[in-house]
Structure formats: C-alpha cells, structure tokens
Amino acid sequence: MRQETIENYLKTIYNLSSNNTAVVNNQKIADRLSLNPATVTEGLRKLHELKYIVYEKSYGSRLTASGSKLALDIVRRHRIWETYLAKELGFGWDEVHAIAEELEHVNNVKLINKLASILGNPIYDPHGDPIPDEKGKIQKSNFIKLSEAKVKFYYKVMGVTDHSTTFLKYLEKHNLIIGASINIKTIEDFDNSIVLICQKKEVNISPKAAECIIVQSI
C-alpha cells in the first residue's frame, strides 16, 4: 500500500472517531476521501492486514496503537504546517488547509520539529484544534464549536474558523469578539438557530455562523 494512501485513511479515521475510541463506518470514510465504498472496503481490509486498524466486517474500524501513532503524526504535521503557513508565511486561515493537505505527507521529523520550534511549540492550531507533540501526546481540548454548545451553559468565545470580512462584520455587530462571555438561552427547534446572551443583550445566531465560532466552557 502506498504510504500516502495509508496516511490519508488513518488521518480520516482519526478525525472521524474524534475521541479516538469510537468505531468509524465506511461510508463516512468514503465521503471524506471522495472514494467509492467498494474502494474503502478494500482499503480497510489491507489496513487491517497491516495492523494499523481493527476492522470488523459490516461493523466498522478503529485504530490500533500503531495506527493511532501514525495518525497522530500526520495530524501533527498537518497542523504544524497550517500554523506555519498562517503565522510565518502570511497565508489566510482559509488557504492553509489545502496546502497543508499536501505538505503533511513530507515525512521529516527534523523539519516539523524545526517549524514547531520556530512557532514556539504551539499546542493549538489557527482553527483551535490541538497539535500533538512529537510523541503523539495531545492536549485534550475543551474547545467546541458554538453549534455544539448546550442550553443554559456559559462559554467564552475563543476563535473563529471563517475569516471573511462579511463574517467578521457579522460578529462585531453582535459583540461576539474573542474573549466575550456568552450564555446559551435556547436553541430553536425548527432551524437550530441559537439564542444567546452576550453583554446583556439577546443575540440570535444562525446554525451556519455557529459552525464557525469556537467557544470554551467556563
């Protein structure tokens, strides 16, 4: 199996099993990688043979220790590159993902560690996702998307994943700046829009906007 193929599968399985214990189903992998389901079945069978995953037919896959190790390594490379592209090379946060998607396959530990060191060994990337360290250790993040927030809970705005002028203006209008404290009042049943209190004013946030706002439970 080509190394790049292996890496793409493992990264995808890792990302889809967020907590890294959940079993991932084939269809989601096929969607993410834009592959035919038949191709995925084949791929997973091979990854099982290579002992990167445990694959149970008609059930799903989860990473083994060695698969997890490789997946974390790829995730590290990807996030370090994203951060480097954004912070050191002046790319927009909307541009970095696609480039990092290619750069992540260049496997040179010294290179990634050097970039990380220049960046001050960050534990979070520009999107608020945690960056595994060289050993694969990951800072468990309590950052979530506003769209995943629960009613009555208090949160702090930590970042955004969309940096378009229109979106930033939208946020400004509602006082949703970085660091702002918010309280979720209700989530509308019919369209999932979120009603929250920010600086004593009631604000209505669309589901689309809520997807792009990163918050932390406080």
Interface residue list for its own copies (CB under 8 A) = 85, 89-91, 95, 99, 102-103, 105-108, 110-111, 114-115, 118
Using CA atoms, how far apart are residues 170 and 204, in angstroms rounded to an integer? 11
Closest by CA position to 125, among listed 214, 210, 207, 63: 214
Q: Which of residues 16, 20, 32, 39 is near DNA by CB under 7 A? A: 39
> Chain centroid to CA 66: how far?
21
Q: Which of residues 18, 19, 34, 117 is near DNA by CB under 7 A? A: 34
Establish if 60 lies at the interface with DNA (CB under 7 A).
yes
204 contact choice in its own copies, DNA, none (CB below 5 to 8 Å, kind-dependent): none
Tokens 């920010």 sit on residue: 198
Helix (H, G, I), strand (E, B) or coil at 173: helix
- Residue 147 DSSP one-character state: G
Q: Of the two residues 53 and 103, which places its CB atom closer to its own copies in the complex?
A: 103
Instruction: Report the nearest approach of DNA to the CB of residue 7 (Å).
Output: 10
Helix (H, G, I), strand (E, B) or coil at 217: strand
Establish if 27 lies at the interface with DNA (CB under 7 A).
yes
Tokens 């390594």 sit on residue: 73
Using CA atoms, how far apart are residues 152 and 154, in angstroms rounded to an integer? 7
Instruction: Report the nearest approach of DNA to the CB of residue 43 (Å).
Output: 6
Q: Which of residues 18, 19, 21, 57 is near DNA by CB under 7 A? A: 57
Residues that bind DNA (CB under 7 A): 1-2, 5, 25-27, 30, 34-46, 57-60
